Amino acid sequence: MSVIANEVRRATYFDSIVLMRISRQVAGMTGVAEAGLMLGTPANKDILREAGILGPEGEAAEAGDLILALRAADAAAAAAAMAEAKRLLDAPKEQAATSALCAVRTIRSAVRELPDANLALISVPGHFAVAEARKALALGLHVMIFSDNVALADEVAIKREARARGLLVMGPDCGTAIIGGAPLCFANEVPRGDIGIVGASGTGIQEVSCLIARAGRGISHAIGTGGRDLKAEVGAITTLMAIDALDADPATRHIVLISKPPEAAVARVVLDRVARSAKPFTICFLGAAGLSLPANARAAATLKAAADASLGRAAGDAPAARVRAHRGSLVRGLFAGGTFCSEAQIVFAQAGLPVASNVPVPGAKPLAGAPEAHGLAHTMIDLGDDEFTRGRPHPMIEPAVRERPLAAALADPATGAILLDVVLGYGAHPDPAGHLAGFLGGRNGGPLVIASVTGTDADPQPRGAQVEKLLAAGVTVAGSNAEAAALAVTAVGGA
């Protein structure tokens, strides 16, 4: 009979990425059926309860406590797994004690240690993030809020407070930025240059900055805004301040704006500000139509087009050879990046092909049921959506999240091509292409697999080596996500 084991560490916080990785390591141990390490919030308790690993001790945990929960085949396996979980949790502390890094407990203490710092990165549970951001603003720091689950009203309030102080708030849920050449959170190693980016999309910033880098140019700054900044309630506060900053920056020659379509009134405000600049702009509002742009701006329908426009020439690698599907007529897109999912839908719409998706893009059908069960249309799935990551790591961190829907797409005789994104850089899995190649290894026939690889050769996972692993596994590799989507269109007989 299986054994459930719980242990609670009072008032203990670890980054969710660390906890997810430890959970997966423990779950892979012999005799362990399931494992989860989570803060004791009501939502997290629901996840552990549904997984069948929450015991009485875990039930009693409070929101600021850390729950170690697992189910094992017997008491010995449970004890061994719990001991390993505790060892892995304590390892970062042991490493910090012997490293040159300075461990502090408060933002004020950090400022005393680094008096010249001017930016604080906040990555704590959402209900604590605003309080920490306010502490940083009071100390005169710009703020990047990586945390999600922050109420919209709190976002509005904190951004207004920052604006009054002349400080920038990137986020909440801001996953990517490059400030002064320093990549923050999920970002890539790109050279300094004269193109500035303002993005409400982390993967959008990554794609455009990497295409620019691979074309031999560089980025002055890439400022993330958080995905809700262009909502009417927020009013593009960070976007407008970021435009002001890049407009005043003598090192920035060209500015790229990346977002899903903003609400009409917000778009007018943003474009009016663009019109007052003497610098050229590229506007990539994915899925937007009929925008009236000022004379110094041009529209880009895709991220690839945005990179091309900022460079004044084509970006990316040499176009991949066109391929044809040898079975099936449908495309299954399985994405780690929500913006890549949206961009692929746009490419398909331009080709006149209907798409069902869990990402709202004008003209797309809502996806009903599991992606592999939606057999009547091309499908584009954002596997980083909350529906798929609740209690599990993001697919950029743990590519195994993609395995179940990928296996279903490979087995479906209606599938002619599978469209994937592989995202490199800081914070991402150390070898996503190797993992994918291992999963695809030994295939004999089946649908085409077409992928794009977002990254550079300076990344922790050098892009060239990642591409070679995919090519060796029989994957067709395109130079950009938009090109990969276009290849998928032609592969199944589209325009």
Q: Report residue 84's pLDDT band, with 50, 70 and 90 as the boundaries.
A: very high
378's enclosing H/E stretch is strand 378-382
Q: Which of 39-53, 240-254, 284-298 has the highest mean pLDDT?
A: 240-254
Least confident interval from 226-235, 274-283, 310-319: 310-319
What is the predicted pLDDT for the residue at 388?
A: 74
pLDDT of 398 over the 70 cut:
yes
Continuous segment of H or E residues that includes residue 285:
strand 281-285
How do strand 119-122 and strand 176-179 relate by DSSP bridges?
Answer: unpaired
Higher pLDDT, 326 or 292: 292
With beta carbons less than 8 A apart as the criterion, state whether 384 and 359 touch.
no
> What is the model's pLDDT at position 362?
65
Q: One-letter amino acid identity for 337? A: G
Give the pLDDT confidence score for residue 425 in this predicted structure. Answer: 97
Q: Is the dihedral of CA 93, 97, 100, 101 positive or negative?
A: positive
pLDDT digits (tens, 9 = 90+) for 129-148: 999 999 999 999 999 999 88
Higher-pLDDT residue of 320, 344? 344
DSSP state of 184: E
Q: Tokens in use for 343?
A: 């961009």
User: Is pLDDT at 444 greater than 90 in this prediction?
Assistant: no
Cβ neighbours for 128, distance < 8 A, ≥ 6 positions apart: 147
pLDDT at 154 over 60: yes
Token pair 């320093």: residue:
182
- Indicate whether 93 pLDDT > 60: no
Do the Cβ atoms of 440 and 474 come closer than 8 Å? yes
H helix runs in 362-451, sequence order = 386-389, 403-411, 432-440
Cα angle 378, 379, 382 (rounded to 5 degrees) comes to 155
Look at residue 166 in the predicted model and tell me its pLDDT: 97
Tell me how many degrees the CA angle 302-308-311 measures, rounded to the nearest 5.
145
Place of tokens 């599938």: 415
Find out whether 300 and 282 touch, Cβ atoms under 8 Å: yes
| pLDDT above 80 (res 351) | yes
Instruction: Give the model's confidence band at 213: pLDDT under 50 very low, under 70 low, under 90 confident, else very high.
Output: very high
**Closest by alpha carbon to 183, among 173, 194, 172, 192?**
192
Check whether 480 has a pLDDT greater than 70: yes
Q: How confident is the model at residue 375 (pLDDT cuts 50, 70, 90)?
A: low
Q: pLDDT band at 489, cuts 50/70/90? A: very high
pLDDT in tens, 156-178: 999 999 999 999 999 999 999 99
CA dist., res. 393 & res. 16, Å (int): 8
For range 227-256, the mean pLDDT: 97
* C-alpha distance from residue 101 to each of 92, 98, 137, 179, 280 (Å): 12, 9, 24, 21, 41
CA 165, CA 51: separation in Å to the nearest integer?
Answer: 46
C-alpha–C-alpha distance, residues 427 and 406, integer Å: 23
**Mean pLDDT for the chain?**
91
Residue 438: partners with Cβ closer than 8 Å, 6 or more residues away: none
Least confident segment among 64-78, 226-240, 365-379, 464-478: 365-379
Q: Looking at residue 314, what DSSP letter applies?
A: -
Higher-pLDDT residue of 311, 39: 311
Q: What domains can you pick out in the chain, each with its CATH number?
A: 3-98 (3.30.70), 104-164 (3.40.50.720), 174-316 (3.40.50.261), 330-491 (3.40.50.261)
What is the Cα–Cα distance from 188 to 207, expressed in whole angstroms?
Answer: 9
Q: What global pTM score does this model have? A: 0.88
